[in-house]
Amino acid sequence: MSRTARPASLVAPGVHRLGDHVVNFYAVEEPDGVVLVDSGLPSHLGQVREVLDAAGKSLSDVRAVLLTHAHPDHAGLAATLQKAGAAVRVHEGDAAILRDGPRSAMRHAKPERSMLPYLLRRPAAAAVPLHLARKGAFTAPATPGAESFREDGPLEGVPGKPLAIGLPGHTPGSAAYFFAERGLLFTGDALVTYDGLTGLTGPGLVCRGFTHASAAALAALDRLDGIGSAALVLPGHGEPFSGGIQEATRQARRTGLH
């Protein structure tokens, strides 16, 4: 198996980690339907179908897609799943990216720094944007009609009753989703355990080459500290972290900004 073809895995009862060596997204099985947290790349559609088929379900059983942010590697299947009947939810700070399509991310959430210095220090990092391009990230269709939210709080009508927490910084509309009954916190790119540009592993912030406002991203860690009952942290990049959210944010602050 190639390193790009990571199979889906069960990270908690009824919770599947999907994606590949570059990006994670997740399928959460609830009694009243399936929830996807993020939607990966367009090329991941077959993987989603496989996980649903194994559970005796289909795309029409996906009730909601909760986007932690609208970067192309996290919203690649949003339009496809919306057409199949899922409600797509995103913080209003990133709604314009979905409306205007993936290439608009550079306009609506321009990174603080150029990628060039990172690529000069670590040439292997060039494989990340090339992988995204090959897997259709930048040619995915726009997703007009997504439901946006502004305030923190429970998302009505979403199976599992997740709590949405706004975490502006990585993008203006970055958010996390907390499934309190399961102790699961999906952090997207507000807190990751792997950075593809720097190669750093362990809980941390995405570097400035991929982050819109790093000082705000660092401040957003304070909001995550308040979710003390989040036992398992499921990031948008890297391995799950089982040491709890407060230990994850402690390590992220120690690692700092890059």
What pLDDT shows up at residue 228?
A: 81
Q: Mind listing the pLDDT tens digit for each residue in 58-91?
A: 999 999 999 999 999 999 999 999 999 999 999 9
Q: The tokens of 106 are what?
A: 């550079």
Q: How confident is the model at residue 5 (pLDDT cuts 50, 70, 90)?
A: low
What pLDDT shows up at residue 3?
A: 45
Q: Mind listing the pLDDT tens digit for each residue in 21-59?
A: 999 999 999 999 999 999 999 999 999 999 999 999 999
Check: CB of residue 39 under 8 Å from CB of residue 46: no
Q: How confident is the model at residue 1 (pLDDT cuts 50, 70, 90)?
A: very low
Asked if pLDDT for residue 162 goes beyond 50, the answer is yes
CATH of the domain at 35: 3.60.15.10
Which residues constitute the domain of residue 131? 9-102+111-255
Tell me what the mean pLDDT of segment 229-251 comes to: 96
Check: CB of residue 161 under 8 Å from CB of residue 213: no
Backbone phi, psi, residue 134, to 5°: -65, -30
With 0-12 / 13-18 / 19 or more C-beta atoms within 10 angstroms meaning exposed / middle / buried, residue 121 is exposed
Per the domain annotation, does 173 fall within a domain? yes
Per the domain annotation, does 2 fall within a domain? no
What pLDDT shows up at residue 224?
A: 96
Check: CB of residue 244 under 8 Å from CB of residue 226: no
String of DSSP letters for 44-101? GHHHHHHHHHHTT--GGGEEEEE-S---TTTSTTHHHHHHTTPEEEEEGGGHHHHHH-
Asked if pLDDT for residue 131 goes beyond 90, the answer is yes
pTM: 0.96
Per the domain annotation, does 26 fall within a domain? yes
Asked if pLDDT for residue 7 goes beyond 90, the answer is no
Structural domains of the chain, count: 1
Q: State whether the Cα torsion 242-245-39-64 is positive or negative.
A: positive
Tell me what the mean pLDDT of segment 132-153 comes to: 95
Per the domain annotation, does 123 fall within a domain? yes
Cα atoms in the 13 Å half-sphere on the side-chain side of 148:
18
DSSP state of 241: B
